[in-house]
Amino acid sequence: MTRLVIATRRSRLALWQAEHVKAQLAALGHKVELLAMTTRGDELQQAALAAAGGKGLFIKELEAALADGRADLAVHSMKDMPAELPPGFVLAAITAREDPRDAFVSGRYAEFAELPAGSIVGTSSLRRQAQVLERYPALEVRPLRGNVDTRLAKLDRGEYAAIVLAHAGLKRLGLAARTRSLLSIEESLPAPGQAALGIECLSTRTDVQALLAPLADSASSTCVRAERAVNRSLGGDCTIPLGAFAELQAANLRLRALVASPDGRRIVRAEAIGEASDPEGLGRRVADALRGKGADRILAALSK
């Protein structure tokens, strides 16, 4: 029996994800413990995520625990992981993906089309914000930070007419009933890796990598690798308004992606089909197509 320690954030969703991986490892005969931690990203609840330093703020403390030997592996939401990992770390496994779609959540309205002009919509994602405003420019989108329960509480207090969350997170927490309607992939292209879990460890821990290999899902891994390659090719920042979604079609892989201005006024889209055996190559090809349509100019304007 191997003893393993999983580093995880303390939020209810993060703990669910870590417990999910723990159960899988326990079923393989390993003794597993959790090391729950508060990250910088959890502490900075008022600042906009992009301004505060990006989603990498959610994983740095977990990586420190891996580096100093307090933990053997860390469990992350793949959409929160930077496109490039720091030297010395490796993504050992990507687990089977949940439903990747975004959810429309509201106490009063069933879908976006019902919201009156001027209604306030909450989201922490510039990607979601841009796609909402592209279709519904009369709405007002305001930042929404905090864990899933905090965001739902703000909605229930009347601070927002509706909010947009990942349906996978609601489902994992037993809150799927809070989803009033699911946004199609065409309506709201997901973030790279959305609804998949990633398991990280030190690149030198080949023993841990071997133990984690049975948890990897080949189909999900192929799709997520293509999506992350788009982001990596365009700069690797997981806070930029970028969506990417891949799906297997027999031996081929279909990849759709977009880059947008936060106000939704400029959105460029591209898609391609390639061999599933080269997901990174397909991701780079779609990123090049986005560049050809002006993605670099949109991204450059964000840094000014």
Catalytic residues: 80
Q: Which of 198, 202, 204, 120 is nearest to 154 (CA)?
A: 120
248, β-bridge pairs: 253
Q: Which of 103, 102, 143, 101 is nearest to 120 (CA)?
A: 143
Q: Are the beta carbons of 143 and 74 closer than 8 angstroms?
A: no
Instruction: Give the C-alpha separation, 58 to 163, whole Å.
Output: 22
Supply 183's token pair. Answer: 């946004």
- Look up tokens 């489902």; give the residue: 171
Q: Are the beta carbons of 193 and 96 closer than 8 angstroms?
A: no
Residue length, the chain? Answer: 304
User: Which long-range contacts link 249-252 to residues 24+ away (Cβ below 8 Å)?
Assistant: 249/273, 251/275, 251/276, 251/277, 252/276
Instruction: Give the C-alpha separation, 59 to 37, whole Å.
Output: 10
